[in-house]
């Protein structure tokens, strides 16, 4: 999994049928200290992550399809957890 | 998935089985502020509705082929959806986005 922060969201009317009703978040990748590591990605939200929250992102297709259901979902990145804090 | 902007269309003369009739698009990857990032690539259009100038989101690798039916096709980048709006959160300590998102 990778570590990221919610930076925004996108809306989309025309998309793959498997994404119907799914929430798409824009995430900034973070390093181990919670600082931006450069790069962003779009992931499907399954946990209700809010603006600015640190999240865990599963970045692998088979796991993503297991979580979301369906065998033909074109999704690799799924938000699977919200991080409370990073112990030192 | 990642953001991109459709730059144009690609019209192939010969394609593999399974790719007949699939629209191919030139897509320039974008960062979250809609600025170009990286080199353009050709994407299959899973929506079959994207056109030049539109902002889309795309997927790479095996998941790209899953946008198409049948999905066992030689595709490594594909448009999954067309973006209506991008809403970026203004978080404390961050500079506002120059120009904003579309």
Q: Domain extents for chain B? A: 2-12+22-82
Return the pLDDT at A86.
85
Q: Which of residues 62-91 of B touch A (CB under 8 A)?
A: 62-64, 66-67, 71, 78, 80-89, 91
Nearest CA in chain B to A74: B63
pTM: 0.90
Q: Do residues B4 and B64 lie in contact, with contact meaning Cβ atoms separated by under 8 Å?
A: no
- H or E element, residue B85: strand B85-88
Write the pLDDT tens digit of every residue in A52-86.
999 999 999 999 999 999 889 999 999 999 999 88
Residue B29 is predicted with a pLDDT of 98
Task: Band the pLDDT of B93: cuts 50, 70, 90.
Answer: low
Which residues in chain B have Cβ-Cβ distances shorter than 8 Å to A15?
47, 80-82
The structural architecture, per CATH, of the domain A2-82 is Beta Barrel (2.40)
Q: Does domain B2-12+22-82 have CATH number 2.40.50.220?
A: yes
Cα gap B68→B49, rounded to integer Å:
13
- Indicate the domain borders of chain A: 2-82
Q: Per residue in B11-68, pLDDT tens? A: 999 999 999 999 999 999 999 999 999 999 999 999 999 999 999 999 999 999 999 9
Put simply, whether B49 touches A (Cβ < 8 Å) is yes
Instruction: Show the beta-strand stretches assigned E in A18-68.
Output: 23-30, 36-45, 54-59
């Amino acid at each position: 999994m990778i570590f990221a922060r919610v930076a925004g969201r996108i809306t989309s009317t025309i998309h793959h049928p498997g994404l119907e009703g799914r929430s798409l978040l824009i995430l900034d990748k973070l390093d181990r200290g919670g600082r931006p590591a450069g790069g962003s990605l779009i992931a499907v939200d399954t946990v209700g992550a809010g603006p600015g929250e640190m999240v865990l992102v599963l970045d692998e297709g088979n796991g993503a399809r297991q979580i979301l259901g369906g065998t033909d979902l074109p999704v690799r990145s799924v938000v699977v957890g919200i991080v409370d804090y990073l112990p030192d | 998935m990642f953001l991109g902007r459709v730059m144009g269309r690609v019209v192939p003369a010969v394609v593999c089985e399974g790719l007949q009739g699939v629209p191919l698009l030139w897509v320039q990857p974008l960062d979250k502020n809609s600025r170009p990032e990286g080199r353009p690539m050709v994407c299959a259009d899973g929506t079959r509705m994207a056109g030049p100038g539109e902002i889309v989101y795309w997927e790479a690798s095996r998941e790209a082929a899953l946008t198409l039916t049948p999905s066992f096709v030689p595709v490594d980048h594909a448009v999954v959806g067309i973006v209506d709006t991008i809403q970026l959160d203004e978080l404390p300590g961050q500079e506002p986005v120059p120009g904003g998102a579309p």
